[in-house]
Amino acid sequence: MFSDYTWNSERATRTRCSSATRGTSTRCSDYDSAGTSVYRPLAVATYALNWQVSGAEPWSYHLVNVLLHAGAAALVVRLGTLWRLSSAAAGLAGLLFAVHPVHVEVVAAVFGRKDLLATLFVLAFTLTHRRALERGGWRRAGAPLLLLCAMLSKEVGVVGVALVAVQDLWLEKDRRAFMARREVPLLYASHILAVTLYLLARTSVTGGMGIPDTSFWDNPLVSAPLAQRVATALVVAGKGVGLLLLPLGQSPDYSFDAIPVVASPFDLRLLATLLGGSALLAGAALPRLRTTVLPPALAWYALALLPTSNVAVVSGTIFAERLLYLPSVAFCLAAGAALAWAVEQRRRGGTALAVVAVAALAMGTVAYSRFWSDDVTLFRRAAAAVPGSTKAHHKLGEELLRRGELGGALRSLRRALEIAPGNVFAAETLDQARTMVVQRYVLAPPGAASPEPGTLPRDPDILLVVGATRLSQGDTTGARAALSGFLELAGDRYPVETAWARGVLGAR
């Protein structure tokens, strides 16, 4: 699948730019410059290479994404062994990472490349950093270079320094002696230098350290007070953990109003998240679990999630499954260790549990991957999984309109506006859909007769538009025929429109 998801967003940006500047003195380049604060040259370079190989044909893009994901899974196994997991635990962690359904978006969609690359390079960086401490040599230069590659793939790569610090603190028992070693501060200084070089390069290209302008419809936290933003961010973090534990109801979109902003400290979602988080922290502090992989896994998860959590700064989206790719490394390591422990304690029962867990996740991945076959199927899934998202319905309507399925497009776009009456993008697309209905079923080509009422499709949304248009043209007969058909099909789904149509028919 070569999803049009990303390209649609770019087209929408260009459309907004042209419509927003029409009739004003503002230049379109002023709008374009806001987008340059996203600086991911390494990811873009891989797209350019794909283009040279296959142009717009999807196979090479997908092949690279699959290979990158396989490489990341292999590095998860290596990281598990570095963290002193048994071979079985590390292998299970890599297998869970490879088959988890929450990674479908990253692998199936072309725009997931940046997350794939950043995670791959962060994993390689953590492994090389440790080898540099133990063996020195070329690894002392290799580690900061890998860190730089991670950051040039996506900004989240900057957390690599914090991740290796957590790793070192956990692996080293005599921390004072560790810090006294000469190579330790030198190696960390090289990492800080890599971060500094990245920030200088980013600033020179983008002109600053700002983040892209964020639409309220993509992330309603953009206008939320700090307390509500942090509370909602905690709920979103809890949702991410929930999807890793039980990946049901997945969606490619979680924009307004799929995840309502937390408005009260007594919100049940917030209370459940705080309770679950407290239980995890308490468990990690238990003497029996303190020496397991759970403490560093919790630290890894929190640090990897922080840049996109909307806590420190507002990001481009309130939530997306692709943002769990790097944090999920920690989840898979902890889950692999738990399953390996179960196998050791109860060989038959534990083995059966491990097999069932891996098989269930693999089947979930296969099932969810099918929704990424084309854009209409994808956004039908989004509209069903998160029916409160205005963007999911808008994008579905946009894709149906492109296919020429006017009735379905009208319904989806109307639903998008019911959720968010202020969504001007959906309103513009709805106007386009109505115009296409008028052109197809009301306006006759030159020299041809107007379409007869009996030839209209039996679709309530199309009939409503045709009836309203013919009424505005003074064609009473045509309007009555179309609106009568609308009333016959509408049922209880259109209370306002039904009342209006009945009023029109009754008045005449």
Is position 21 within any domain? no
Residues contacting residue 485 through CB under 8 Å, at least 6 positions apart: 453, 456, 458, 460, 463
Q: What is the pLDDT of residue 38?
A: 81
- What per-residue confidence (pLDDT) applies to 138? 79
The whole-number pLDDT of residue 25 equals 32
Per-residue pLDDT at 14: 34
pLDDT at position 444 is: 62
241 and 335 inside one domain: yes
CATH code: domain of residue 394? 1.25.40.10
Task: Flag whether 30 is in a domain.
Answer: no
- Domain ranges, residue 395: 374-441
The H-or-E segment that residue 505 falls in is: helix 495-507
Mean pLDDT of 201-214: 79
Domain check: are 241 and 385 in the same one?
no
What mean pLDDT is predicted for residues 101-119? 96
Q: Are residues 416 and 502 in the same domain?
A: no
Instruction: Please tell me the predicted confidence (pLDDT) of residue 212.
Output: 67
Residue 17 forms part of a structural domain = no
Residue 7: pLDDT band with limits 50, 70, 90: very low
Asked whether residue 341 carries a pLDDT value surpassing 70, the answer given is yes
pLDDT score, position 30: 31
Same domain, 507 and 427: no
Residue 310 has pLDDT above 90, yes or no: yes
Mean pLDDT taken over the chain: 88
Q: Is the Cβ–Cβ distance between 221 and 318 less than 8 Å?
A: yes
Same domain, 379 and 366: no
Integer Cα distance of 506 and 508 in angstroms: 5
Query: Looking at residue 298, what is its pLDDT?
Result: 95
Residue 26 lies in a domain: no
User: Which one is predicted more confidently, 312 or 302?
Assistant: 302
Residues 404 and 457 in one domain: no
Q: Is the pLDDT of residue 5 over 50?
A: no
Residue spans of beta strands (DSSP E) within 320-386: none
Residue 79 backbone phi and psi in degrees, to 5: -65, -40
Determine the average pLDDT of the residues in 394-402. Answer: 96
More confident: 139 or 93: 93
Residues near 325 by beta carbon (within 8 Å), at least 6 away in sequence = 103, 106, 112, 115, 116, 119
pLDDT at 454: 57
Are 61 and 106 contacting, i.e. CB atoms less than 8 angstroms apart?
Answer: no
Q: Which of 441, 472, 491 is the last residue of a domain?
A: 441
What's the pLDDT tens digit per position in 430-466? Answer: 999 999 999 999 886 544 555 555 578 889 999 999 9
Residue 28 lies in a domain: no
Portion of the chain with pLDDT greater than 70, in percent:
89
Instruction: Look at residue 2 and tell me if it is in a domain.
Output: no
Q: What is the DSSP letter of 221?
A: G
Residues 414 and 485 in one domain: no
The reported pLDDT for the residue numbered 13 is: 33
Contact 318, 232 (CB under 8 A): yes
Chosen domain end from 387, 414, 441: 441
Q: How many domains does the chain have?
A: 3
Assess whether 167 and 216 both reside in one domain: yes
- pLDDT class of 207 with cuts at 50, 70, 90: confident
Is 325 a member of any domain?
yes
- Judge whether residue 2 has pLDDT over 50: no
Residue 32 has pLDDT above 50, yes or no: no
**Above 60 in pLDDT, residue 178?**
yes
The per-residue pLDDT for range 8-31, each reduced to its tens digit, is 333 333 333 333 333 333 333 332
361 pLDDT higher than 60: yes
Of 370, 391, 424, which residue constitutes the final position of a domain?
370
Q: Do 340 and 383 share a domain, yes or no? A: no
CB 118 within 8 A of CB 73: no
Model confidence at 348, pLDDT cuts 50, 70, 90, reads confident
HSE-up (13 A, CA, CB side) for residue 179: 5
pTM score, two decimals?
Answer: 0.87
For residues 488 and 490, give the distance between their C-alpha atoms in angstroms, rounded to a whole number. 6
- Is there a domain that residue 19 lies in? no
Confirm if 376 and 399 have CB atoms less than 8 A apart: yes
Q: Do 170 and 193 share a structural domain?
A: yes
